[in-house]
Structure 1
Amino acid sequence: MPLLGAAAWLGSLAASLTTGRVLAAVLISSAAAGATLAVRRRAARVAVAALLLVALAAAGVTAFRAERTAHNPVAVLAGEGAAVTVVGTVASDPHTVQGGFADQVVWRLAVGRVTGRGQTLELRAQVLVLAGADRARPALGAQVEVHGRLVTADDDREVSALLKASGDPRTSRRPDVWWRGAGAVRQALRDSVARRPADQRALVPALVDGDDAAVDPELQEAFRTTGLTHLLAVSGTNLTLVVGFLLVLARWAGVRGRWLHLVAAAGIVGFVLMARTEPSVLRAAVMGSIGLLAMGTAGRHKALRALGGSVVVLVLLDPTLAVSAGFALSVLATGGILLLAPAWRDALGRWLPRWLAEAVAVPAAAQLACTPLVAALSGQVSLVAVVANLLVAPVVGPATVLGLAGGLLTLVWAPVGQVAGTLASWCVAWVITVAEHGAALPTAAIGWGTGPVALAALTASTVAIALVGPRLLRNPITSLVLAALLVVAVLARPPRLGWPPDGWLLVACDVGQGDALAVAAGPHTAVVIDAGPDARAVDRCLDRLGVERVPVAVLTHFHADHVDGIEGALGGREVGGVWTTRLQDPPGGVREVVDAAAEAGVRPEEVAQGRTFAVGQARFQVLWPPADQAERGPGDGSTANEASVVLLVETGGLRLLLTGDIEPEGQQALARLWPGLEVDVLKLPHHGSAHQDEEWLRSLHARDVLVSVGADNDYGHPAASAMEPLERDGAALYRTDQDGDLAVVVDGGEPEVVTSR
């Protein structure tokens, strides 16, 4: 069964990631190879035939599902940009996402009927609804009617189109009673911890039912660094704990025999309803059921067979799981626990109490099995994950059970429910402490390449550790020495290994889809221009540069991808001042900057064209915005972009132009205000957006061009139309998404860019 599961997974992957011709060639070659290998032995022939049949079935279902999703009538209407009226059932909880210029509410709709372009069609399709943050939010399971315009989806494997709603949805039928009941439990769970501190108030629902909407992004990053992310999502562990608790109560109440199976089944169904019927929840329910099965007699062998069979069924029912990172991590973690943990537990059990040996072996096996994939996704390997999971393990169960009890009891009598919720929040307070302190360790995680060679080396190392681990762990001396080496590796700050390069003048930090720049201004001192979207990312970058003092932090404008990381840039450093553009828009970004500046003990100050200042060897001149910019009121995203502070920096004999997100109109104005301006290094405006004034950019004659951009962003940045003209003129282009941090140095009087990757 595990081999059949792997065959189904590979077949679906092949259909998802390759063209039809390549897929046909792969399948034909596989069939020929299998037939050749199976000629002599009937058993082998049957096995190979079964594997090929399952792989072909998964590939066929995946191809059919993709075709049906991408080319149904809804997708056709989306290609035409049709205005439509859609009737369907709300298939996910509405949640708020931050857009480039404004927040939006996003939810999934299972379409039953669509009217547009003079026709009404009844069909089954999924669309993603985008609405303004001020729009009404329909309840999960409700039947609604929505008016809007269909547009093509970026990823058409899961949804047929995006629906940009033009008004509030009209509810024509309330959710069924089970959805209303599940919603009541979720709300009661939140109410039971409503009086607790914000992080605890957010984490208890995340731990019980995966409701992580209120978890602070910085805390989420700490959980990622320490390998605790699985606690923020619905996982098999959640279900195992909840259903296991119900079984204990049932036994205490005298339930025996097959009735316990009924209790377990009811618990699984209730858990899925409470956590929502998303694919990730269904996957977690299956993995949790396998975990329960593993607890029984001969459980390991039954669970392995169940794992393989579950993969086959899940991939056939929902082929999109084959390319889901969450699905892969769940399967790998479950497989690691079933295959590796028993041997590791027995080896440690020679000199440790069995309960402690099992407590160490289970998270270690799960983490080891997932390590190559985690590195491929995040570019790092956590060194504290096993210890962090071991430290929080004693409170995860009580927190989950008490949190659920708090929600259920709140429905009956709120004060009692709040007592249980408070106890749960005390438990998660320890989890938060472990995550925050673990992430703050000097080498909590190490960077790892995401290329094929790096990942192949890591995978080979993982396999070697899995095979050799039990032998090493049998001996207490060897185990303690290895543990001591790991502790030293985590606590000791490693040498920088050539980063940052000596004499760096400017560094563009790799902070994802946003800008964060540092201009050297003396020992451990830098002027910071923008702070990116992620406080931890900019803080790590400045730490690597050794920046302890920030005489001036300049925020070019107030969009989230330039100011949301401000606390990371200023926190823990000596700050002299915060300068901003004159256009105080959008308001949310302004508030964030004002609050962070107050925390640092300074007040923001507006700057405009003509201001000059010097810090250390670096001289700065503000070229834009003009002094009358403040007369323009808040507007759309382009208005804020046009108000970006543009700085000309002279340092080390070089001229650097830092342009924020200024757009073509402002670029043309700069060309008129500063004719003949030429620079050595250019920070390409607006992350390489297609909206550029090509003539002005080329007139700067920059030798090196830096592009601050996030990998796989949704904006199409950087655009070929922005980069190709500069490359044709001989400029060298460097991108943070591909090259990591970008450092400008001087070599022989000429600029040179050194990358961290």
Structure 2
Amino acid sequence: MSLDLRLAVPALAVWLTAGLLIGTPEAVGVVAVTLWLLAGGCTALLVLSRMPRRGQWPGAPRAGRWQTLGGTLVLCCTGAALVATAVGVWAPVRLPSEVRGAAESHATITATITVWSVPVAAKAFIGSGTSGRVRFKATLTQLESRGETTPVSSPVVVFAEASRSGAEPEIGSSLVVRGTLRTTEPGDATVALLFVNETARGVAPPPWWLQWANELRARFKTAATSLAGDGGNLLPGLAIGDTSAVSPGLDTAMKTSSLSHLTAVSGANCAIVIASIMLLGGYLRLRRSWRIALSLLTLLGFTILVTPEPSVLRSAVMATLTLVSIGAGRPGRGLPTLLVVVIALLVSDPWLARNYGFALSVLATAGLLLLAGPLARVLAQWMPSALAAIIAIPLAAQLACQPVLILLNPSLPLYGVPANILAGPAAPIATVVGLIACLMLPLLPGVAAGLLAVAWLPSAWIAAVAQTVSMLPGTRLPWPGGAPGVLLLAVVTVLTLVVVLRGRAATPARWPAAVLVVLLIGLGGYAGSLIGTGIGRVVSFPPDWQIAACDIGQGDAVVVRDGDQYGLVDVGPDPKLLSACLGTLGISRINLLVLTHYDLDHIGGVDAVIGRVDTALVGVPENAQDVSLHERLAAGGAAVRQAARGDSGNLGSLTWNILWPIRGATTMQVGNPGSVTIMFDGRGIRSIFLGDLGQEAQDGLRRASSPGRVDVVKVAHHGSADQSPELYAELRARVGLISVGVKNTYGHPTEKLLNILASVGTLSVRTDREGIAVVAPGPGGTLVLWTEKVADHGPPANPTPAAESVGGAG
């Protein structure tokens, strides 16, 4: 069957134009005028080319190829001009001067907002574990600053304190809040981040046409999450796309195993809903026009229920066009319909061009339309047709989406297709039965409860597959990142498809095969060099690593992780070194930042994280410069809190407690003796971070807040001699992390400290000799230690990068 690709080039032109212009809106006027002139000129030339020339009869054949090319050029220029015009019209509306001015001045504003997404945890929790922050999308409709009130219409992401009653803002409700604004990067779907520093008060409830969905969504989430384990928490995501109940650990497992798309409502969900309505209408013998009308009405309600995220929007519009074309007696074909939808949505909202969800939805659909059939036919030569189809569907979607996924994570999933083969068949069952249960809850609660129990089984199976696959060794393979990585992967994918899909009877594709072999050999060497040099070392980390000590020279920067939630204790001396480490670890946002004290080797790298921090715990400021640092963090959107003994909270499933300094004490509150000392506990590891505490402060800590046994200690003051043997004897840590620079002039770490650690059975791990060091929980209460370089403290279990198991206590 031939493919209709006539709209492919115009769709690509529209997408590229939108993606470029939303990042540089200042150039949109000139570009729009130029594109309209080109569109007009191309149209005129096309019309002239169709007019009969002198000496040519009206019915004479014309140069069809050139006319087709001219038509494509007209569509490209016209579509690009429409996008440029849309950017020019909407950019100043989205980010007016009043909003920009309020963000640049860091002034506290009073804002009226309308909520447009379900609030989810902002991933850092402060206090006793009962309060934290949530984030949600909203439209800023009114701005009051410095006595002036201005009506606006700006999309923002709101960060606010979680409601202690558990009643978060509902979609469609209007609130009045006070807080500060920070603009986002040009081209972002939202123009600013709004950090609320006062409790929001309601202005107007949601309209009726949204309220029914809010109530149904909340009721279904409550009923589903009452079921046991990960299956209950995952079910709302599978059925209606609500992932707010998914734990950080399960979320990470779903992403690692390439199953996270199952909780993103898209074409498959819309197809299931429409097919169910059409089948029901056929059973009831309704006329086709009535079945189509009922399907469209149901699709609208479904879109409201699951919220119109970009992937849902693409699916819903495409399904609508398909139904309308069927009703008109001219059924459309899949690929042209997809391309028409892409052009229409990008013209209506050019900011979709840089939305990963929209891009992945389009690419996955295109992959299924273009590749699933040919791949199934090729695979059917070696296996049953049904099995070939089961394998071809996730493989086609994975091949189409992977070039974009490289931008999110520069590595390839090794077990993505097998995981989808195992989990994929369960997803439609969980989706259909779960959605029916959701709709039945207000009408027949007993029936809904039974359906929920049935839907829980496939949901639990998917969660089990994700957790199991994520724990397998070598879950991801290294690959170049950025635009070069995308281009290279696209070339390799195309060459592979050319070689594989030619069929047995076709002439062997010699030159594509030769180029592919050369690329694969080169990439194999590249991957080996990445792992050997440590540039791509993150892909060989233990998948469930919890602690990573950055190699940032003479200074401290240690990451604590649970799932996709990250804490960072100190930031080292240099923002470039810290940025490199965070990039290696794949970290873009810090949920909990701890600045133990204000020495340069602990705060010098703070510029690398300003604007990327949710919550910052700091010590007592020593001078105006320290206060200014707090203000810079707050202006970047962080909630800055002075920490002292007794403070506690959560980072994902990990609990943290501040052990030192003592609030209100008159001595040892600043400098090294006042270092904020924090302890983390959870997922099999108990760890303590001692900052730069000296012996006197360490003994004071031991008397005031006896920490007891730990698994990992971040050794104080880079291993100086000013240490308390009694404290380390009490800690009896299995691993002691020493952040220290190569050839430092202080003689760190000292023999005294190393002897103290050795005497209590603590394994010394030094960043100056071993580079970045990573600790993960191991089986049977052991620890898994991974280091970038071969360790000097004994023969490693594996070659560089080194990894070994550290036995459990006793």
**TM-score range, shorter-chain basis?**
0.5 to 0.7
1:110 to 139, 146, 163: 139
Match in the other structure for 2:739? 658
Query: Does the Cα contact within 8 Å between 1:582 and 1:630 map onto a contact in 2?
Result: no
**Is 1:257 paired with 2:288?**
yes
**Is 1:124 paired with 2:153?**
yes
Secondary structure in structure 2 of the residue aligned to 1:411: coil
Query: Does the Cα contact within 8 Å between 2:372 and 2:392 map onto a contact in 1?
Result: yes
Distance 2:241 2:91 in 1: 28
Distance 1:269 1:367 in 2: 29
Secondary structure in structure 1 of the residue aligned to 2:700: helix
Deviation at 1:319, TM superposition (A): 1.4
Match in the other structure for 2:106? 81
Match in the other structure for 2:205? 174
Deviation at 1:425, TM superposition (A): 0.6
Match in the other structure for 2:177? 147
More deviation, 297-306/452-461: 297-306
Deviation at 1:15, TM superposition (A): 0.8
Match in the other structure for 2:441? 410
Distance 2:394 2:385 in 1: 15
Alignment of 1:183-582 (within 5 A): 183-286=214-317, 302-349=333-380, 353-471=384-502, 497=528, 516-517=548-549, 532-534=560-562
Deviation at 1:427, TM superposition (A): 1.0
Match in the other structure for 1:96? 121
The structure-2 alpha-carbon separation of the partners of 1:706 and 1:21, relative to structure 1 and needing over 3 Å to count, comes to farther
The structure-2 alpha-carbon separation of the partners of 1:159 and 1:25, relative to structure 1 and needing over 3 Å to count, comes to closer
Distance 1:294 1:348 in 2: 33
Alignment of 1:156-175 (within 5 A): 157-175=188-206
Deviation at 1:158, TM superposition (A): 3.4
The structure-2 alpha-carbon separation of the partners of 1:73 and 1:741, relative to structure 1 and needing over 3 Å to count, comes to farther
With structure 1 as the length reference, what TM-score do the two structures score? 0.67
Query: Does the Cα contact within 8 Å between 2:86 and 2:347 map onto a contact in 1?
Result: yes
Distance 2:204 2:302 in 1: 24
Distance 1:401 1:109 in 2: 30
Deviation at 1:453, TM superposition (A): 4.0
Query: Does the Cα contact within 8 Å between 2:109 and 2:143 map onto a contact in 1?
Result: yes
Match in the other structure for 1:11? 17
More deviation, 280-289/436-445: 280-289
Deviation at 1:742, TM superposition (A): 5.1
**Is 1:648 paired with 2:718?**
yes
Q: Identity of aligned pairs, percent?
A: 26
Distance 2:415 2:323 in 1: 27
Segments of 5+ residues of structure 1 without an aligned counterpart are 476-493, 520-527, 539-554, 564-580, 611-621, 634-642, 661-674, 682-701, 710-739, 747-753
Could you list the per-position Cα deviations for residues 507-539 of structure 1 after superposition, in whole angstroms to 9, with x for gaps in the alignment? 9979999961399xxxxxxxx99662245999x
The structure-2 alpha-carbon separation of the partners of 1:513 and 1:132, relative to structure 1 and needing over 3 Å to count, comes to farther
Which amino acid in structure 1 is aligned with residue 119 of structure 2?
A: P
The structure-2 alpha-carbon separation of the partners of 1:446 and 1:705, relative to structure 1 and needing over 3 Å to count, comes to closer
Query: Does the Cα contact within 8 Å between 1:107 and 1:129 map onto a contact in 2?
Result: yes
Query: Does the Cα contact within 8 Å between 1:510 and 1:741 map onto a contact in 2?
Result: no
Distance 1:60 1:631 in 2: 69
Query: Does the Cα contact within 8 Å between 1:500 and 1:743 map onto a contact in 2?
Result: no
Deviation at 1:338, TM superposition (A): 1.0
Distance 1:351 1:513 in 2: 40
Match in the other structure for 1:587? 649
Deviation at 1:463, TM superposition (A): 0.6
User: What count of residue pairs does the alignment treat as equivalent?
Assistant: 602
Secondary structure in structure 2 of the residue aligned to 1:65: helix
Which amino acid in structure 2 is aligned with residue 154 of structure 1?
A: T
Deviation at 1:704, TM superposition (A): 10
Secondary structure in structure 2 of the residue aligned to 1:147: strand
Secondary structure in structure 2 of the residue aligned to 1:340: helix
Deviation at 1:676, TM superposition (A): 7.3
Distance 1:143 1:79 in 2: 25
Which amino acid in structure 1 is aligned with residue 177 of structure 2?
A: H
Deviation at 1:623, TM superposition (A): 6.7
**Is 1:46 paired with 2:71?**
yes
Deviation at 1:656, TM superposition (A): 9.2
Query: Does the Cα contact within 8 Å between 2:79 and 2:347 map onto a contact in 1?
Result: no
Distance 1:741 1:283 in 2: 45
Which amino acid in structure 2 is aligned with residue 364 of structure 1?
A: L
Could you list the per-position Cα deviations for residues 187-241 of structure 1 after superposition, in whole angstroms to 9, with x for gaps in the alignment? 2322432432231111110011111112122222222222211112222222222
Match in the other structure for 1:721? none
Match in the other structure for 1:546? none
**Is 1:677 paired with 2:770?**
no
Alignment of 1:590-739 (within 5 A): 592=655, 600=684, 626-629=698-701, 646-649=716-719, 658=739, 677-679=746-748
Could you list the per-position Cα deviations for residues 478-525 of structure 1 after superposition, in whole angstroms to 9, with x for gaps in the alignment? xxxxxxxxxxxxxxxx9994787699xx99979999961399xxxxxx
Which amino acid in structure 1 is aligned with residue 548 of structure 2?
A: A
Secondary structure in structure 2 of the residue aligned to 1:109: strand
More deviation, 170-179/196-205: 170-179
Deviation at 1:66, TM superposition (A): 2.9
Secondary structure in structure 2 of the residue aligned to 1:238: helix
Deviation at 1:366, TM superposition (A): 1.2
The structure-2 alpha-carbon separation of the partners of 1:108 and 1:439, relative to structure 1 and needing over 3 Å to count, comes to closer
Secondary structure in structure 1 of the residue aligned to 2:122: strand
Distance 1:83 1:274 in 2: 34
Secondary structure in structure 2 of the residue aligned to 1:587: strand
More deviation, 210-219/93-102: 93-102
Query: Does the Cα contact within 8 Å between 1:399 and 1:428 map onto a contact in 2?
Result: yes
Query: Does the Cα contact within 8 Å between 1:113 and 1:122 map onto a contact in 2?
Result: yes
Deviation at 1:116, TM superposition (A): 2.9
Distance 1:582 1:148 in 2: 27
Deviation at 1:161, TM superposition (A): 3.6
With structure 2 as the length reference, what TM-score do the two structures score? 0.63
The structure-2 alpha-carbon separation of the partners of 1:599 and 1:318, relative to structure 1 and needing over 3 Å to count, comes to closer
Query: Does the Cα contact within 8 Å between 1:74 and 1:160 map onto a contact in 2?
Result: no
The structure-2 alpha-carbon separation of the partners of 1:677 and 1:586, relative to structure 1 and needing over 3 Å to count, comes to farther
Deviation at 1:105, TM superposition (A): 2.1
Could you list the per-position Cα deviations for residues 530-582 of structure 1 after superposition, in whole angstroms to 9, with x for gaps in the alignment? 662245999xxxxxxxxxxxxxxxx998x99999xxxxxxxxxxxxxxxxx99
Deviation at 1:452, TM superposition (A): 4.2
Query: Does the Cα contact within 8 Å between 1:65 and 1:319 map onto a contact in 2?
Result: no
Secondary structure in structure 2 of the residue aligned to 1:107: strand
Distance 2:770 2:385 in 1: 59
Distance 2:30 2:199 in 1: 47
Distance 2:549 2:453 in 1: 43
Distance 1:535 1:278 in 2: 24
Distance 2:147 2:88 in 1: 31
Distance 1:744 1:307 in 2: 52
Could you list the per-position Cα deviations for residues 51-99 of structure 1 after superposition, in whole angstroms to 9, with x for gaps in the alignment? 1121122133224433332334233333333443333422222222024
RMSD: 5.2
Distance 2:690 2:85 in 1: 61
Distance 2:78 2:312 in 1: 28
Segments of 5+ residues of structure 2 without an aligned counterpart are 1-6, 50-62, 507-524, 567-593, 597-612, 618-642, 658-678, 706-712, 722-735, 751-766, 775-785, 793-799, 803-810
Which amino acid in structure 2 is aligned with residue 516 of structure 1?
A: A
Distance 1:236 1:11 in 2: 26
